[in-house]
Structure 1
Amino acid sequence: MNRTNQSTVIKAAINSCLEKGLKDKQDIYTTVVSELGVPRPTVRRVARDLRNELLEKIQILQSETKSTSDTKSSEE
Protein backbone atom coordinates (compact mmCIF):
# COMPACT_ATOMS: atom_id res chain seq x y z
CA MET A 1 0.00 0.00 0.00
CA ASN A 2 1.52 3.35 -0.98
CA ARG A 3 1.85 6.16 1.54
CA THR A 4 -0.96 8.35 0.16
CA ASN A 5 -3.46 5.50 0.08
CA GLN A 6 -2.36 4.30 3.52
CA SER A 7 -2.82 7.82 4.91
CA THR A 8 -6.31 8.01 3.43
CA VAL A 9 -7.28 4.67 4.98
CA ILE A 10 -5.85 5.68 8.37
CA LYS A 11 -7.64 9.07 8.28
CA ALA A 12 -10.91 7.28 7.52
CA ALA A 13 -10.33 4.91 10.45
CA ILE A 14 -9.56 7.83 12.79
CA ASN A 15 -12.72 9.64 11.67
CA SER A 16 -14.70 6.44 12.18
CA CYS A 17 -13.41 6.18 15.76
CA LEU A 18 -14.37 9.79 16.40
CA GLU A 19 -17.86 9.22 15.00
CA LYS A 20 -18.25 6.19 17.30
CA GLY A 21 -17.64 8.52 20.23
CA LEU A 22 -14.05 7.64 21.16
CA LYS A 23 -12.48 10.68 22.78
CA ASP A 24 -9.16 9.44 24.18
CA LYS A 25 -6.31 9.86 21.71
CA GLN A 26 -4.50 6.72 22.91
CA ASP A 27 -7.67 4.62 22.54
CA ILE A 28 -8.12 5.90 18.99
CA TYR A 29 -4.49 5.08 18.11
CA THR A 30 -4.80 1.60 19.65
CA THR A 31 -8.05 0.90 17.80
CA VAL A 32 -6.62 2.00 14.43
CA VAL A 33 -3.41 0.01 14.96
CA SER A 34 -5.34 -3.16 15.81
CA GLU A 35 -7.89 -2.72 12.97
CA LEU A 36 -5.41 -1.91 10.21
CA GLY A 37 -2.22 -3.53 11.47
CA VAL A 38 -0.12 -0.43 10.79
CA PRO A 39 2.66 0.80 13.09
CA ARG A 40 1.62 3.20 15.86
CA PRO A 41 4.09 5.93 14.75
CA THR A 42 2.44 5.90 11.32
CA VAL A 43 -0.98 6.41 12.90
CA ARG A 44 0.40 9.26 15.02
CA ARG A 45 1.94 10.93 11.93
CA VAL A 46 -1.31 10.67 9.98
CA ALA A 47 -3.30 11.95 12.99
CA ARG A 48 -0.99 14.97 13.14
CA ASP A 49 -1.52 15.61 9.42
CA LEU A 50 -5.29 15.29 9.88
CA ARG A 51 -5.23 17.73 12.82
CA ASN A 52 -3.25 20.25 10.78
CA GLU A 53 -5.61 19.94 7.79
CA LEU A 54 -8.65 20.45 10.02
CA LEU A 55 -7.06 23.45 11.76
CA GLU A 56 -6.36 25.05 8.36
CA LYS A 57 -10.00 24.54 7.35
CA ILE A 58 -11.21 25.98 10.66
CA GLN A 59 -9.01 29.06 10.20
CA ILE A 60 -10.40 29.59 6.70
CA LEU A 61 -13.98 29.31 7.95
CA GLN A 62 -13.29 31.63 10.88
CA SER A 63 -11.67 34.24 8.65
CA GLU A 64 -14.65 34.16 6.27
CA THR A 65 -16.98 34.64 9.23
CA LYS A 66 -14.97 37.59 10.51
CA SER A 67 -14.81 39.31 7.12
CA THR A 68 -18.54 38.76 6.61
CA SER A 69 -19.36 40.27 10.00
CA ASP A 70 -16.93 43.15 9.31
CA THR A 71 -18.76 43.87 6.08
CA LYS A 72 -22.14 43.83 7.83
CA SER A 73 -21.04 46.20 10.57
CA SER A 74 -19.53 48.66 8.07
CA GLU A 75 -22.78 48.63 6.06
CA GLU A 76 -24.84 49.69 9.10
Structure 2
Amino acid sequence: MGYIKDPENQYNLCDSQGRIAFVVYPLGYDSNVLISKSGWRYTSKTSLRMSDEELMRFKKNRDLYYEEELNKQMELFDD
Protein backbone atom coordinates (compact mmCIF):
# COMPACT_ATOMS: atom_id res chain seq x y z
CA MET A 1 0.00 0.00 0.00
CA GLY A 2 1.73 3.20 -1.08
CA TYR A 3 0.79 6.46 0.54
CA ILE A 4 2.01 9.90 -0.42
CA LYS A 5 4.17 10.82 2.52
CA ASP A 6 4.19 14.58 2.51
CA PRO A 7 6.32 15.75 5.43
CA GLU A 8 4.63 19.15 5.25
CA ASN A 9 1.24 17.69 6.17
CA GLN A 10 2.03 14.64 8.28
CA TYR A 11 1.87 14.84 12.05
CA ASN A 12 2.31 12.59 15.07
CA LEU A 13 -0.10 11.36 17.71
CA CYS A 14 1.67 10.72 21.00
CA ASP A 15 0.81 9.04 24.28
CA SER A 16 0.84 11.00 27.53
CA GLN A 17 4.54 10.22 27.99
CA GLY A 18 5.41 11.86 24.66
CA ARG A 19 6.12 8.62 22.80
CA ILE A 20 4.98 8.63 19.17
CA ALA A 21 2.11 6.17 18.78
CA PHE A 22 1.00 6.99 15.23
CA VAL A 23 2.07 9.06 12.26
CA VAL A 24 -0.97 10.57 10.52
CA TYR A 25 -0.98 11.25 6.79
CA PRO A 26 -3.94 13.36 5.61
CA LEU A 27 -4.92 12.06 2.18
CA GLY A 28 -7.46 14.69 1.29
CA TYR A 29 -10.82 15.92 2.42
CA ASP A 30 -11.99 13.82 5.41
CA SER A 31 -9.51 11.01 4.76
CA ASN A 32 -6.47 10.07 6.85
CA VAL A 33 -4.10 7.15 7.19
CA LEU A 34 -2.55 6.31 10.54
CA ILE A 35 0.67 4.31 10.59
CA SER A 36 1.34 2.62 13.92
CA LYS A 37 4.70 3.30 15.57
CA SER A 38 3.78 1.57 18.84
CA GLY A 39 3.39 -2.06 17.86
CA TRP A 40 0.19 -3.67 19.14
CA ARG A 41 -0.33 -1.29 22.03
CA TYR A 42 -3.34 0.50 20.47
CA THR A 43 -4.35 -1.75 17.57
CA SER A 44 -3.35 -5.01 15.93
CA LYS A 45 -3.19 -3.29 12.53
CA THR A 46 -0.08 -1.54 11.22
CA SER A 47 -2.13 1.05 9.33
CA LEU A 48 -5.65 2.42 9.61
CA ARG A 49 -7.69 4.57 7.28
CA MET A 50 -10.32 6.81 8.83
CA SER A 51 -12.30 10.00 8.46
CA ASP A 52 -11.58 13.15 10.47
CA GLU A 53 -14.42 12.32 12.88
CA GLU A 54 -13.22 8.74 13.36
CA LEU A 55 -9.69 10.04 13.93
CA MET A 56 -10.84 12.45 16.65
CA ARG A 57 -12.84 9.69 18.37
CA PHE A 58 -9.87 7.27 18.10
CA LYS A 59 -7.56 9.93 19.56
CA LYS A 60 -9.90 10.65 22.48
CA ASN A 61 -10.70 7.01 23.29
CA ARG A 62 -7.02 6.05 23.41
CA ASP A 63 -5.83 9.14 25.29
CA LEU A 64 -3.57 10.32 22.46
CA TYR A 65 -2.32 13.86 21.88
CA TYR A 66 -0.96 15.96 19.06
CA GLU A 67 2.71 16.81 19.65
CA GLU A 68 1.73 20.49 19.90
CA GLU A 69 -0.71 19.70 22.72
CA LEU A 70 2.00 17.95 24.71
CA ASN A 71 4.49 20.76 24.07
CA LYS A 72 2.00 23.32 25.40
CA GLN A 73 1.38 21.21 28.50
CA MET A 74 5.13 20.93 29.08
CA GLU A 75 5.51 24.70 28.77
CA LEU A 76 2.84 25.21 31.43
CA PHE A 77 4.68 22.93 33.84
CA ASP A 78 8.03 24.59 33.09
CA ASP A 79 6.75 28.02 34.14
TM-score after normalising by structure 2: 0.28
Specify the structure having the higher radius of gyration (Cα). 1
TM-score after normalising by structure 1: 0.28
Structure with a larger share of its residues in helix: 1
